[in-house]
Structure 1
Amino acid sequence: MSARQGMARLLGSVEMARAFTLTALLAVFGSFAIERLTSTATLATIVLALCVIGTAILIVRREELSLLRLAPSSLLAFLALALVSVIWTTDRGDTVFAWLALLGYAVLAITIGHIRDTLQTVRAIGDTLRVLLALSLGLEIVSGILLDLPIAFLGIDGALASGGPIQGIFGTRNMLGFITVIALITFVIEWRTQSVTAPVAVPSIALAGFLALLSASPTVLVLAVGVGAATAALTIVRHTAPARRVVVQWVLASLTTVTLAVALVLRHPIIAWLGAGSDFSMRADLWNRILDFVALKPLQGWGWFGPWRRGEYPFNYLNYLLDQQHATALNAYFDVLLQLGAVGLVLFLLLGGVALVRSWLVASSRRSVVYAWTPLILVTLAVDSMFESFTLSDVGWFMLVLCALRAGQSRSWRENIDAAQTGAIPTLRPQD
């Protein structure tokens, strides 16, 4: 066997697929800690090296793949627009680097989506988050109880003894809250699919719930309500007879629309009840200012930057007007609208919306509970995007691309084209 054949065999092996997945997930979910412990250049080098390895794996496995189903078309369109925005951006260098970051995390998600199935992906994310959440709690104990000193370079304030808020290794309490919700969904799905035993699942769920509570993140409660409602609705649909399932879907969609409308009308009492009046007022001021700038470039936006670059226009002027130091719009939808205009927002909504509908329909009709993981994660991303811009970079973007790819693999117009080429009829079997 030649060296080339040996390398190809290694890259195409199951062991390499598992090792790559775990390494990539540790890099993605631990990106903040890696950047703080080393540097931005080191993190970029790690992501680049993983992208090269991932691309090599896909090339070796090319006979297992379909070019039409390699990535969702809405994802490709969004990436294309972000790249084209270099023409009108205020800083071409920053836009290129920000686009490369988008592409890098997307390549990692696409690779994992093609070399691991849904259950394997859930298990890998579960293993990764168990380690990182345990590490976060350990560092918070060291900082807040044993030493009673902050760990400044990781952003850990050492407030555990006083009941929080804590950040763990994720930088902010809101990011920790976001991660814990993803972890809770993943751990419960692992347990329900019997992928892990109760002695592993129960402490994992307890750990994620404990950290979610100590994060004191105002978005955690909103995410919990949103995911809980989605879980209840999906459970109802899954236990409905197939003949009546379409009617139930429409009824639930109508109830969701009415609930959102009522929540919008009663937003001020709800905000007061949550004790987030000052926080929402600050966000509302920011969003109103953003709309002023959107009006100047409504279609194409100001160019893609992802997280705001300090000193870059219009972000520096927005912060000057508000006397703040915002690094994002604190809302993914407003951020996309500001940076890529109405066209970008439509593509972003298509990317997430189509993926949510596809994955919801798959989870509704297939027996295994593992298919519920994708729509529940997408609901988490959609709700969190109303309060943070996590979905546009790092972990959030990676999860969005992964879920969109997973949804497209199970229910896509590309299946009809593949079927026409192979003579097979694509089906969605309820017993799967």
Structure 2
Amino acid sequence: MGADGDVTTDAGQPGGPRRSRVPGGVAALGRLAASADFARAFTLTVFAALVGTHLIGAVAGIVTLRTVLAGLCAVAIGVLVARRDELSLVRLVPLTLLAFVTWAFASVFWSTDPASSFWRWTAMTAVALLAVTIGHVRDTLQTVRALGDVLRAALGLSLVLEILSGIIFDIPFRFLGIRGDIAAFGPIQGIFGTRNMLGFVAVVALITFAVEMRTHSVRPGVAVCSLSLAAGLALLSASPTVLVLLVVVGAATAVLTLVRRAPAARRTGVQWVVAAVVAVASLVLYLQRTRIIDLLGARDDLAMRSNLWAVARYFAARQPVQGWGWFGSWDVTDQPFASINQLLSQRHTTALNAYVDVHLQLGWVGVLLFCTLGGLALVRSWLDAAQRRSVVYAWTPLMVVALAVTSGFESVALYGLGWMLLVLCAVRAGQSRGWRERLGTGGAPSTGTIETLPPG
């Protein structure tokens, strides 16, 4: 061994064997990247960057945000390389995710602005890479704990800034999008830019904190304070979608609890009954949507959204199969987004509906792939949660339900935190209920995934 710690062979003399070196620094970096402590730090950093996207962009600029995400992607690739012996290429990425991302890339070639579309696709793929990496290096409980820690800090910071803006200084923090209306009980925005985004994050936090409490991952006092903080900010956001989201997620939680407690022999029958009830309830809610909207006091908001969706569908119908090209959040200078905003005399950066947005950008093929991605993730994770003893498995299906409902009012599932959560849930669901598991070709489970529990 040389003085610098490198491993050498006896090759100094002419005609001797070849000298080979394995740099000790590279080996040490590999061990660090494959360690559990590094995986935890990486997961916390990724969640913090995506939860704080608006804050980072407002304080440090969009270039800084892109640099952070690019650096995290480089680290993610390094982590996957360091753990390559533990991973199986076949199990790495769900086929539904691969198909959706591939179709989005293909749309670059018929996009109205191929260069912008390509870079937007690159950003979407980068976030998916981060989610896939987390899905293979951390188990569900570790993921919930990391996300819970980040959400506690983000919601706490939001509350502090709202108090400073609305009570202490009584001035809006315009660079953060905070209007300072907390003294009037909202609506507030926190560090997330809009009240609807704050409401969505608060509901995600409620699901995460509830799972933490049920799994005894945090002290009871921390769990109660966390749930109170998330519930309070959800109400103060005054988002018209929060109440609907809370009702649906609450109903899904009750149904999942009922299914988990049913005897194993009757569980399949209970599942079919639940599916029938959900179908009937969905039809009734759709038929009574006008009355429900009146009760929620959201007629004006819905009228604005309905006009936007109608114009977006008009343009989508002009290219119904392939769409106008992938952009994620809109580039308002490109078509058809510029024309949509001009016709409405408004400035929208999304269609305020993920399904309408996918139809506009990727056509009916994209809608089919997107719904298949989310639908399979929901079915797989629901069946898995129904058969597992630990309540931590309920986090994945409840998160997919929250994303599916939110997608009817916002497009957050197509970029940033929402897209990362969707990909993470798809990866998690595929690890236990994917076709690779049934064929037995998936290889050994990756490090960081907790041992499978027997059916309950």
TM bucket (normalised to shorter chain) is over 0.9
Q: Which residue of 2 aligns with 1:212?
A: 234
Q: What's the counterpart of residue 249 of structure 1?
A: 271
Aligned to 1:147: 169
Aligned to 1:237: 259
Work out the CA distance in 2 between the residues paired with 1:154 and 1:97. 25
> Normalized per residue, which structure has more helix?
1
CA contact (8 A) 1:308 1:328 kept: yes
Q: Deviations over 1:276-297 (max 9, x none)?
A: 1111111111111112111110
Question: Structure 2 counterpart of 1:356, which letter?
Answer: L
* 2:212 matches 1:187: no
Task: Name the residue aligned to 1:355.
Answer: 377
Aligned to 1:399: 421
Residues 211-268 of structure 1: per-residue CA shift (max 9 Å, x gap) = 0110000110000011011001100100000111111101111110101101111111
Give the number of the structure whose alpha-carbon radius of gyration is greater.
Answer: 2
Question: Deviation string for 1:114-150 (max 9, x for gaps)?
Answer: 1100000000000000001000000001100000000
The change in CA–CA distance for 1:37 and 1:421 in structure 2 (over 3 A counts) is: closer
Q: Measure, in 2, the Cα distance between the counterparts of 1:239 and 1:269.
A: 35
How far does residue 14 in structure 1 lie from its aligned partner after superposition?
1.1
Task: Indicate if the aligned counterparts of 2:389 and 2:453 stay in contact, CA closer than 8 A.
Answer: no
SS at match of 1:309: coil
Q: Which amino acid aligns with 1:311?
A: T
Aligned residue identity for 1:126: G
* Contact 2:49–2:69 (CA under 8 A) maintained in structure 1: yes
Quick one: which amino acid aligns to residue 78 of structure 2?
Answer: A
**Is 1:54–1:111's contact at 8 Å kept on the other side of the alignment?**
yes
CA shift in 2, pair 1:30/1:420, >3 Å: closer
What letter corresponds to residue 127 of structure 1 in structure 2?
D
Contact 2:329 2:415 in 1 (8 A): yes
- 2:36 aligns with 14
Equivalent residue number for residue 117 of structure 1? 139
Separation (CA, whole Å) in 2 of partners of 1:66 and 1:385: 32
SS of residue in 2 equivalent to 1:218:
coil
Tell me the residue number matched to 2:396.
374
Is the CA contact 2:108–2:118 (under 8 Å) kept in the aligned structure 1? yes
Distance 1:99 1:70 in 2: 20
Superposition TM-score, scaled by structure 2 size: 0.92
| Structure 1 counterpart SS, 2:440 | helix
CA contact (8 A) 2:91 2:442 kept: no
Task: Give the percent of matched residue pairs that are identical in Structure 1 and Structure 2.
Answer: 56
Offset, 1:421: 6.9
The reply to whether residue 97 of structure 1 matches residue 119 of structure 2 is: yes
Aligned to 1:429: 454
Unaligned 5+ segments in structure 2 are: 6-23, 445-450
Preserved contact between residue 98 and residue 305 of structure 1 (Cα < 8 Å): yes
Aligned to 1:383: 405
Match of 1:291 in 2: 313
The aligned counterpart of 1:203 is 225
More off after superposition, 120-129 vs 317-326: 317-326
CA contact (8 A) 2:88 2:442 kept: no
Query: Could you tell me which of 280, 285, 291 is aligned with 2:302?
Result: 280
1:35 paired to 2:57: yes
Alignment gaps of 5+ in structure 1: none
Aligned residues: 428
The two structures, once aligned, show a CA RMSD in angstroms of 1.3
* Residues 365 and 428, structure 1, Cα contact 8 Å, conserved in 2: no
Contact kept in structure 1, 2:88 and 2:443, CA below 8 Å: no
Matching residue of 1:326: 348
2:325 paired residue among 300, 303, 314: 303
Change (3 A) 1:8 1:420: closer
Matching residue of 1:57: 79
Match of 2:8 in 1: none
CA distance in 1, matches of 2:62, 2:260: 45
Which of 365, 368, 371 in structure 2 is aligned with 1:343? 365
Please give the alpha-carbon distance, in whole angstroms, between the structure 2 residues aligned to 1:13 and 1:387.
Answer: 40
Q: Within 1, Cα distance between the matches of 2:404 and 2:153?
A: 26
Offset of residue 417 of structure 1: 3.5
**2:432 equivalent to 1:410:** yes
Q: So what's the TM-score if we normalise by structure 1?
A: 0.97
State the alpha-carbon separation in 2 of the partners of residues 76 and 419 from structure 1.
18
Alignment partners' CA distance in 2, 1:169 and 1:69? 36
Q: How far does residue 416 in structure 1 lie from its aligned partner after superposition?
A: 2.8
